[in-house]
Amino acid sequence: MNFRKTLVNLIPGPLVRVFAAPYVAGDSLEKALAAADKFHAEKKLDITLDILGEAETTESKVKAAVEVYYRALAALKNRPFCTLSIKPGHFGYYVSPAFCKANIEKFAKACQEAGRGLTVDMEDTDITDWTLQLYRELKPKYPILGTVLQSRLYRTEKDVESLAGVGAHIRNCIGIYNVPGTLAMTNKREMKENLLKLTRKLVAGGHYVAVATHDVEYIKKARAILEELKVPKNRCEFQMLLGVPRDSIQKELVDAGYTLRVYLPFAEDWRDSIAYLRRRLIESPTMVFLVLKNIFKRN
């Protein structure tokens, strides 16, 4: 992982932007909406829009980011297949946790009134407790609210237990943030097996579960669990990232009546896109190979 991180950080930003651009929907809300419409019309895929950017440390940048989200919310009025995803760091946590909470609650209220699903993403482990506490406080008031749990973390099973009675809406994923080995698993198969274990636990707890993985083997295993437990298709879904080619399994799931939601990020500033893409490249050896292959083919 450290070697891969060093390698990825050596790739110049402009090259990251050019060769990994399929993983970002563009540099404007309008381009993101056009991509969302196309995916839904052509493949019957649902979407969650995410504006890239995090760890903002000034109120002005936070307010600018939040304003884009309000514009996105308004634009989704006639797009029932779209939800929104936000990050605490983007909504002002690193300016002030109280400022962030106020921003998120105000936006959650607006989404609730619009009937629009909203997911509070999980970021670095230094704010996991805060994010879950916020979620437990806000979910009863705003039922449209969801959040994210990461199967790589040793703590996550207890985090599921902490949501007892909440009726949570959970994106159950491996996670991509760099976590110390004392807090997280380092073996990918172990993380994926834990993803399945957490799927069972979330279902048993009465939560809505969104299984987020691109590993076809584990998608099929998760589907088998959902069918074994007779989970209604309106109580679960599958999620994938924009740009990862999984057309066959996506069609199979949609044809079987499951919701398949694509996480569709965009940024009005490409520096935010480059930071996001670097994290994805560090986490995924396959993406590193594809990007480097493209670089050498062009040069």
pLDDT value of residue 299 = 44
Q: Is 231 helix (H, G, I), strand (E, B) or coil?
A: coil
The answer to whether residues 42 and 67 belong to one domain is: yes
For residue 298, pLDDT beyond 50: no
**What are the CB-based long-range contacts (under 8 Å, 24+) for 214-220?**
214/240, 214/241, 214/244, 214/246, 216/246, 216/249, 218/192, 219/249, 219/253, 220/249
pLDDT value of residue 267 = 82
The answer to whether residues 187 and 49 belong to one domain is: yes
Predicted TM-score (pTM) of this structure: 0.88
- Bridge-partner residues for 150, per DSSP? 173
Report residue 19's pLDDT band, with 50, 70 and 90 as the boundaries: low
The answer to whether residues 194 and 281 belong to one domain is: no
The answer to whether residues 19 and 86 belong to one domain is: no
Domain that holds residue 148: 29-266
CATH number at residue 166: 3.20.20.220
Least confident among 92-96, 194-198, 249-253, 277-281: 277-281
The answer to whether residues 46 and 193 belong to one domain is: yes
Say how many domains are in the chain: 2
Distance, in Å, from the CA atom of 187 to the CA atom of 190, rounded to the nearest integer, reads 5
Given the residues 171, 223, 246, 261, the one annotated as active site: 171
Least confident among 8-22, 44-58, 147-161: 8-22
Report residue 176's pLDDT band, with 50, 70 and 90 as the boundaries: confident
The answer to whether residues 59 and 199 belong to one domain is: yes
- Answer with the residue of higher pLDDT: 271 or 185: 185
Span 218-241, average pLDDT: 98
Report residue 179's pLDDT band, with 50, 70 and 90 as the boundaries: confident
The answer to whether residues 98 and 2 belong to one domain is: no
Report residue 272's pLDDT band, with 50, 70 and 90 as the boundaries: low
pLDDT digits (tens, 9 = 90+) for 94-146: 999 999 999 999 999 999 999 999 999 998 889 999 999 999 999 999 999 99
The answer to whether residues 44 and 11 belong to one domain is: no
The answer to whether residues 246 and 286 belong to one domain is: no
Report residue 23's pLDDT band, with 50, 70 and 90 as the boundaries: confident
The answer to whether residues 293 and 182 belong to one domain is: no
Instruction: Report which secondary-structure segment, H or E, holds 241.
Output: strand 236-241
The answer to whether residues 275 and 180 belong to one domain is: no
For the chain, percent of residues with pLDDT exceeding 70:
83
Q: Answer yes or no: 121 catalytic.
A: yes
DSSP 44-66: --EEEEEE------SHHHHHHHH
Q: Answer yes or no: 171 catalytic.
A: yes
Given the residues 46, 121, 159, 272, the one annotated as active site: 121
- Answer with the residue of higher pLDDT: 40 or 286: 40
Residue 122 is encoded by which pair of tokens? Answer: 């999980």
The answer to whether residues 182 and 249 belong to one domain is: yes
